Structure 1
Amino acid sequence: MNDRHVHKKRFGQHFLHDANVLARIVQAVAPKPGERVVEIGPGDGALTLPLLRALGRLTVIELDRDLIPRLHAAAQGVGELEIVNADVLSVDLRRLADGAPLRVVGNLPYNISSPILFHCIEQLDAIHDMHFMLQKEVVERMAAAPGSKVYGRLSVMLQLACRVEPLIEVPPAAFRPPPKVDSAVVRLLPRAPHERHDANPAMVERVVKAAFGQRRKTLSNALYGLLTPEQISRAGVDPRARAEQLAPAAFVELARIAGLPDNPTP
């Protein structure tokens, strides 16, 4: 099929075509035959085909049904390509893993990149690693340290679950059509079981969301109704501090205190 695909804004489609960038991504992923790999948003297959050549078998998740015949045609003679025509947010990655360590890659639609990241984090027990192309600003937020202006909810939740490694910066010209922002490739390595916290995940999420929901306020004000200043102090945190000053582990301690049976707050 030589006719060019019409890019659909509602899907956030920006297809990577720069051969040098593609080669660097494949080198970073370093796929090996027999590995269980899932690509999110294969688009026109620019990254799909080199991955498929290296692996022999690949699963892709693509929402745009118009791209499916193109992908099947491109994969002929290259390897076994399984295409899941679905919204990735509805896909059970554990089922796709089928008991094997799952490697996830993809050029994520920038308009829903954060929900996709959280969807993967929720199924982290099935994932070996992740390599994603994202808006550069999002990657900076993911990797930000406490005290940074871009350090926030995304930084804390991802860093509690994974090691975040920015890898490659990618200019708009590497895509068709070019996005209005710079992009970057990031590697996410799930933390080993002994590195993960054992606090209630829902409470951690609640505390982090509340703390950054009013980030200009002190924690005693931002967490009002969830934790008292005395309870914040019990967690080893200054109630006068602001959310962006706290390391991810501090939010875990706040969540532990918030979840204690003697905590009178709702």
Structure 2
Amino acid sequence: MFNLKNNIIYIPKKNLGQNFLINKQKVNNIINSLHLKSNHNVIEIGPGYGFLTKNIYKLINKFFIIEIDEYLYHLLKKKYKNYKNIYIYNINILYFNIKKIIFKKIIIIGNLPYNISLKIINYLTKYVNIIKNINIMIQKEVYEKISATSEKKTYGKLSIIIQLHYKIKNIIHVSKECFIPIPSVESNFIKLIPQHKLKNKLINEKHLYKILSQFFKNKRKQINKIFQFNIFLNNKYIKNKITRAENISIYIYIKISNNYSISKESICLHT
């Protein structure tokens, strides 16, 4: 429970994963990292009472705010009712069609609920062609997983899928004491920058997901024992077939996937 302003008492909802960033220095660091310009169009996911919002709206052209909490939605509507560049929606971002409101490049900002942060990142990937960048607060452990490279303990299927679509930049670490209520975990504010270089090298994305699922069922398992795909492990890609899934880079996985796709296509053409 905390006092928002004007003696308005609000109890953050656990089921919505509400932890509000209140540290002014961290807020300023985040705003500065966005490099906002007047012609930018911005979506903020889960603004809460608007600790970031109040520093953003005056810098940009159009500002779209997505707040799932009905009570906070009405507070924000009242607070910003006279601002013509602000559009506020009471909806779950996972059901919001971004292309209905804008077709231009957009910047996304959000202090994401820890329990659905990965779902939101995956959902936003469908709009990657109209996204300039995504700037989000996530759990430190999630950041370590999605940014991990081969040979690291946190490297896995998730790391590869996210890095296929985005370059990941860590902006700042945010300690749990910077939030109300204080969460049980540390956080990182990160920037995801859409990139197509890796995806453009891939023949079939579904084949890559299939291969990753098999390889990472047990990432400590030697890959020469994954019989379903052993035939596609070209020696020029992997010299040591007793290596493990966690030791293979994203570039090699793309080559394995493409080899698999070509082989599948060849089989189809000759049947």
TM-score, length-scaled by structure 2: 0.88
User: Structure 1 residue 90: deviation in Å?
Assistant: 1.6
Q: Assess if the C-alpha contact under 8 Å between 1:164 and 1:186 holds in 2.
A: yes
Whole-angstrom CA distance in 2 between matches of 1:116 and 1:187: 14
Aligned to 2:247: 245
User: Structure 1 residue 48: deviation in Å?
Assistant: 1.2
Aligned Cα RMSD in Å?
A: 2.0
Tell me the percent identity: 25
> Given the alignment of the two structures, is residue 259 of structure 1 paired with residue 261 of structure 2, yes or no?
yes
Whole-angstrom CA distance in 2 between matches of 1:199 and 1:87: 33
Whole-angstrom CA distance in 2 between matches of 1:147 and 1:88: 34
Structure 1 residues 179-194: aligned runs within 5 Å: 179-192=183-196
SS in 2 for 1:216: coil
Structure 2 stretches lacking a partner, 5+ long:
1-5
Aligned to 1:73: 78
Q: Assess if the C-alpha contact under 8 Å between 1:143 and 1:166 holds in 2.
A: no
Aligned to 1:104: 108
Whole-angstrom CA distance in 1 between matches of 2:7 and 2:236: 62
Which of 42, 48, 65 is residue 47 of structure 2 equivalent to?
42
Tell which structure's C-alpha radius of gyration is larger: 2
User: Structure 1 residue 191: deviation in Å?
Assistant: 1.1
**Structure 2 CA distance for partners of 1:224 and 1:109, relative to 1, 3 Å:** farther
Number of residues of Structure 1 aligned to a counterpart in Structure 2: 260
> Given the alignment of the two structures, is residue 153 of structure 1 paired with residue 154 of structure 2, yes or no?
no
Question: Which amino acid is 1:67 matched to?
Answer: L
SS in 2 for 1:187: strand
Structure 1 residues 205-244: aligned runs within 5 Å: 205-221=209-225, 223-225=226-228, 227=229, 229-233=230-234, 236-237=237-238, 238-244=240-246
Whole-angstrom CA distance in 1 between matches of 2:267 and 2:255: 14
Structure 1 stretches lacking a partner, 5+ long:
none
User: Structure 1 residue 208: deviation in Å?
Assistant: 1.8
Q: Assess if the C-alpha contact under 8 Å between 2:220 and 2:246 holds in 1.
A: no
Q: Assess if the C-alpha contact under 8 Å between 1:49 and 1:78 holds in 2.
A: no
Q: Assess if the C-alpha contact under 8 Å between 2:164 and 2:198 holds in 1.
A: no
Question: Which amino acid is 1:83 matched to?
Answer: I
Aligned to 2:3: none
Whole-angstrom CA distance in 2 between matches of 1:76 and 1:56: 16
Aligned to 2:13: 8
User: Structure 1 residue 139: deviation in Å?
Assistant: 1.0
**Structure 2 CA distance for partners of 1:194 and 1:95, relative to 1, 3 Å:** farther
User: Structure 1 residue 258: deviation in Å?
Assistant: 2.2
Q: Assess if the C-alpha contact under 8 Å between 1:161 and 1:196 holds in 2.
A: no
Write out the 4+ residue segments of structure 1 that deviate beyond 3 Å after TM superposition: 76-79, 192-196
**Structure 2 CA distance for partners of 1:193 and 1:149, relative to 1, 3 Å:** closer
Whole-angstrom CA distance in 2 between matches of 1:210 and 1:4: 50
TM-score, length-scaled by structure 1: 0.90
Whole-angstrom CA distance in 2 between matches of 1:153 and 1:93: 27
